Amino acid sequence: MGVIFLDKLVIKGNTKLKGEVHISGAKNAAVALIPATLLIEGVCTITNVPNISDVKISCEILEQLGSKITWISNNEIIIDNTDINCTDAPLDMTSKFRASYYLIGSLLGRCGRAVVGLPGGCNLGARPIDQHIKGFEALGTKVEIAQGKISASAKNLIGTSIYMDMVSVGATINVMLASVLAKGTTIIENAAKEPHVVDVANFLNTMGADIRGAGTDVIKVNGVQKLQGNASYSVVPDQIEAGTFMLSAVATKGDITIRNCIPEHLDCLTAKIIELGANVEVDNDSIRVWTNKKINSTNIKTQPYPGFPTDLQPQMGVCLAIANGTSIIREDIWDSRFQYTAELNKMGAQITDQGKSAIFQGVKELYGAPVSASDLRAGAALIIAAIVAKGESTLTNLSHIDRGYENIEEKFRNLGANIQRISE
């Protein structure tokens, strides 16, 4: 009989985090760039790749489709997509993570056909992909969903205007991928403006695409015949990882300098941290956050970029759980993003989950407790809470965290956290 090892983190808290942390490449960009390479009939190099499990699965899926992938260091890969020989992505692997939907746009662009398992990923409530499908169909694709998989095929992809009914990162990127090699011009209106949307457009343009307007709400893709490849591209620094460490400085009343980040991507968070009463100093590619006093309460509403990112909502929730007074968070992107609040309450927080909103009654202290990560960002939030809390906490369900944070416990340990990973 096989043995299953379940990792847990044991964290002894009451620590003020101090020092410097180096931010990795963005998960949400990397998991789009890797399938995007399928559009290149040749070789390209990607650097600043975060070494996380979602990236490893993305690479394994590409290998099954015929890619040759070489890791030349911990964070650099060479991808040779000369011989893509399959358009059916392995269902068991694609259903493991959300970003597998990018295989549809990429394979459609490259081969005119894609079969991909319905995407999995964090359990944040309903995660429809109707806008992706609407975009593919507008470009001339026939899409069928049956038996847990999506089959898409197109004789010719023809550029057109597509209005997104809501701002969707995934649908914007996916339609961009499908239209890069289409005939004519595709216009995506009400496009997402997140940094990783811009990063995918920059990557594709570096490889020979003609995409304009990424970062605004209208993206224009002039179809080209071929992407040349033969170039190297560095993944944008992870906005959410940087924000996670900014908020861990606030929550622990610490002093952290976050290196290798793009401060403009964090303007909204910086403004909120100043409202909380903490200090922020911004340099070219670094941000220092520090405070030594109890923070103020505030209200947060999650929104698409440049609004407050839903992926930093749980980490902000930890700060508000120990702020002076009452704060309200309204979550407008996902239906089930307050699962972490029940775990924080086990640590002494007083949070009332009201569905779309949660009310945070600031408490004096948190106390160590056994808690479990319901999703990736909830996991990051609970690590921060455990570092703040008096006593010892154990955190389980780490596979969520490993999907998206590179060397997370080492990074926290270097800032002074007492954190150990134990396999059982």
The contacts of residue 360 (CB under 8 Å, 6+ apart) are 297, 317, 320, 321, 323, 326, 327, 328, 329, 349, 350, 351
- Tell me how crowded residue 106 is: count the other CB atoms within 10 A of its CB: 29
Does residue 370 sit in helix, strand or coil?
A: strand
Per CB under 6 A, the list member of 28, 248, 374, 393 interacting with ligand UD1 is 28
Contacting residue, 23, 31, 138, 329, with ligand UD1 by CB under 6 A: 31
> Residue 307 gets which letter from DSSP?
S
CB of 236 to ligand UD1, least distance (A): 12
Nearer to ligand UD1, 128 or 184 (CB): 128
Distance of CA 198 to the CA centre of its chain: 14
Task: Give me the least distance between CB of 190 and ligand UD1, in Å please.
Answer: 11
Q: Which tokens go with 22?
A: 């180096």
Rule CB under 6 A: choose which of 103, 169, 176, 198 binds ligand UD1: 169
Instruction: Please check whether residue 38 is in contact with residue 225, taking contact to mean a CB–CB distance below 8 angstroms.
Output: no
Question: By CB under 6 A, which span of 124-132, 224-232, 283-291, 361-369 interacts with ligand UD1?
Answer: 124-132
299-301 and 326-330 strand pairing: parallel
Q: Least CB distance from residue 107 to ligand UD1, whole Å?
A: 17
Closest approach, Cβ 102 to ligand UD1, in A, equals 8
Cα separation of 252 and 338, whole Å?
21
Q: How far is the CB of 82 from ligand UD1 (least distance, A)?
A: 27
Strand partners for 149: 117, 146
Under the criterion CB under 6 A, does residue 128 sit at the interface with ligand UD1? yes
- β-pairing, 299-301 vs 350-353, is unpaired
Q: Which residue in the shown chain puts its C-beta closest to ligand UD1? A: 170
Candidates 127-135, 155-163, 208-216, 293-301; binding stretch for ligand UD1 (CB under 6 A) = 127-135
Q: Is 138 in the site for ligand UD1 (CB under 6 A)?
A: no
Nearest residue to 93 via CA among 40, 31, 135: 31
Greatest C-alpha distance within the chain: 63
Site string for ligand UD1, 299-338 (x = CB under 6 A): -----------xx---------------------xx----
User: Could you tell me which stretch among 126-134, 200-208, 261-269, 319-327 binds ligand UD1 (CB under 6 A)?
Assistant: 126-134
Chain residues binding ligand UD1 by CB under 6 A are 28, 31, 98-99, 127-132, 166, 168-171, 192, 310-311, 333-334
